[in-house]
A = this chain, B = another copy of it.
Amino acid sequence: MFEFQIHHTEGLARAGTLTLPHGLVETPAFMPVGTHGVVRGLSPGDVRRTGAQIVLANTYHLHLRPGELVIQNMGGLHRFTTWQAPMLTDSGGFQVFSLEGLRSIGEEGVTFQSHIDGTTRMLSPERATEIQWQLGADVAMAFDHVVPGQSSCEAAVDGMERTLRWLDRCKTVHDRLADEQPARQTLWPIIQGGIHDELRGRSLGATLEQGPWTGIAIGGLSVGEAKPVMHRILEHLAPRLPPEVPHYLMGVGFPADLLEGISRGVDLFDCVAATRNGRHGTAWLPSGRINVKSAAMKGSLDPLDPSCDCETCTTYPRGYLRHLFAVEDILGLRLISIHNIRFLVRLGEQARAHILNGTFERWSREWLSYHYAGGD
């Protein structure tokens, strides 16, 4: 359980298979975000048909509604949501640190006000780990201290060092819980350190000392820093990451990010952009982006993306998709979200095939230059 097998590499890019309690994940892979235990507007069947093999759910949101105890009493996230494949929960850290003005941070944890009912709550390394165990996803994430992308070096040091101290506390709780059911859930640590290579290196080194781990995540990127900075950090970390476990780049997942990340040794991605863009009618195409609401779509019998094999592109004409947004029918949001998720999942599948084939670098370079030319 929690094994990761690498089949082939090309440069830093890797094609692998991750074995989790609820199934396999072929990497590189994009994970759709199921904020409230549902990928917005999509049924588990819709998500399965995009080819996604693992879904992320947010501990912060599920803690507030319906509460981890409700889910635990129903038999865990899988029975609650009916999603039968692997799941990963974040720790809630990212959400509570985003509650600017509604939270106070201490060494013990983060005290915050629920954005739903204003009640005062507390998340700590211990609570975040216990809640995730109760939720029962295949992979739990350590409770980390995220700092904004343009933070001072001091703030980055502070967040990074606290993340390490908290990791120790998460691990203690997780090890105790996993002692009786070792095949239920694994815990992955998160590398912090802002945009500072040296801090990132220290974070990684100290994290590995607390190991071994079955996977390792890179957090605190795509939080305001420039893309080249993110790429530099990834390049700094890549040769230092343990090659035998999956590398998960948290919260990152525009189409180009996937290929840029894969070429820098990343195996797993998640991002809400696929569904958020879908809700606004913005669809990704190999040539860039398109807005389904644009006048040019009216009356068109063309598929949204002729090169795509998703339910939306193989079924509906552009003119109907545009109409759904014009009359504000929720089917429109769903169909574009399905396309966008399939677009990212398929990009992972294509990258994997090219890595196995030794053609990733050339394909990726061509794909990116075509895509960037389209303005995304």
Q: Which A residues form the contact surface with B (CB < 8 A)?
A: 36-38, 40-45, 61, 65-66, 70, 73-75, 79-82, 298-299, 301, 315-317, 319-320, 322-324, 326-327, 329-331, 333-335
Contact = CB atoms under 8 A, between A and B. Distances in A.
Contacts of A75: 301
A330 B334 contact: yes
A317 B74 contact: yes
B38 A74 contact: no
A212 to B, nearest CB: 36
A254 to B, nearest CB: 23
B73 A323 contact: no
Given A70-B299, A74-B299, A80 B319 contact: yes
Contacts of A319: 66, 70, 74, 80
Contacts of A36: 323, 327, 329
Nearest to A332: B38
Contact of A329 (B40, B82, B331): B40
Contacts of A61: 327
A41 B332 CA distance: 8
A38 B329 contact: yes
B299 A73 contact: yes
Nearest to A36: B327
Most buried by B among A36, A40, A80, A320: A320
A293 to B, nearest CB: 12
